[in-house]
């Protein structure tokens, strides 16, 4: 019953269903898209001295309907095809497995598990941090640096701020050491 009510509310106000199931950013994006298109239509119809060309109104209405249908399809997918409880359970299981492999210093398997978590939720700061550390330990310094920066961007609570900075310094030092080893020394004459 809750799923049907959420779907009905989303028919009336696009985006509210996504917000209700916890997909807040997506819900806000759908809502703002619909409001923007509606505002464009109203401005086109009533704020111009000459009547708009039929194709202009049709284009805006078509975009509005397309976005509205996309919103409903997205919500139906999350409500009926992708069960959020199963999704969260799989995500937690993958994260725990990743941590287990991480603590056993099996970084390649830990990386696979943390990547799986990030496929479920690309904004998971904890998984991003641990994946970056695994990449750093495996010598993938460029990828680790990119992931540490992503983690810093995602970390609103500043949970990993100090560790991220420390790890970034370690990555930069390791990259320097690698470059020095790879650089050929001049031959003694």
Listed by start position, the domains of the chain span 2-82, 85-182
Confidence of residue 134 (pLDDT cuts 50, 70, 90): very high
Q: Quick check: 30 and 67 in contact, CB under 8 A? A: yes
Q: Rounded CA gap, 128 and 51, in Å?
A: 52
In residues, how long is the chain? 189
pLDDT surpassing 70 at residue 121: yes
Phi, psi angle pair for 75, to nearest 5°: -65, -45
pTM summary value: 0.56
Q: What is the pLDDT of residue 169?
A: 84
Average pLDDT over residues 92-109: 93
State how far the alpha carbon of 13 is from the alpha carbons of 9, 20, 68, 87, in Å. Answer: 6, 12, 9, 26
Which tokens go with 162?
């100090």
User: Using CA atoms, how far apart are residues 141 and 158, in angstroms rounded to an integer?
Assistant: 23
Percent of the chain whose pLDDT exceeds 70 = 94
Residue 84, pLDDT > 80, answer no
132-164 burial by CB neighbour count: b if 16+ within 10 A, else e? bbbbbbeebbebbbebbebbbebbeeeebeeeb
Average pLDDT on 136-143 reads 87
For domain 85-182, give its CATH number from 3.40.50.2300, 1.10.760.10, 1.25.40.10, 1.20.1270.360: 1.25.40.10
Q: Rounded distance, CA 126 to CA 140, Å?
A: 19
Query: What's the mean pLDDT when you consider all of the chain?
Result: 85
pLDDT by residue (tens digit) across 32-60? Answer: 999 998 888 888 888 777 878 888 888 98
What token pair was written down for 168?
């970034």
């Amino acid at each position: 019953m809750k799923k049907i009510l959420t779907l009905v509310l989303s028919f009336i106000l696009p985006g509210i269903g996504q917000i209700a199931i916890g997909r807040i950013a997506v819900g806000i994006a759908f809502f703002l898209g619909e409001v923007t298109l509606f505002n464009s239509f109203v401005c086109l119809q009533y704020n111009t001295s000459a009547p708009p060309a039929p194709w202009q109104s049709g284009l805006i209405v078509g975009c509005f309907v397309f976005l509205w249908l996309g919103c409903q399809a997205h919500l139906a997918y999350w409500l009926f095809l992708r069960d959020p409880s199963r999704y969260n359970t799989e995500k937690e299981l993958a994260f725990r497995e990743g941590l287990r492999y991480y603590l056993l210093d099996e970084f390649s398997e830990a990386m696979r598990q943390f990547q799986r978590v990030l496929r479920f939720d690309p904004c998971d700061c904890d998984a991003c941090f641990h994946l970056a550390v695994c990449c750093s330990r495996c010598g993938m310094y460029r990828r680790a640096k990119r992931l540490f920066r992503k983690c810093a961007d995602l970390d609103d609570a500043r949970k990993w701020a100090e560790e991220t900075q420390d790890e970034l310094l370690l990555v930069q030092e390791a990259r320097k050491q690698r470059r020095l080893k790879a650089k050929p020394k001049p031959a003694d004459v």
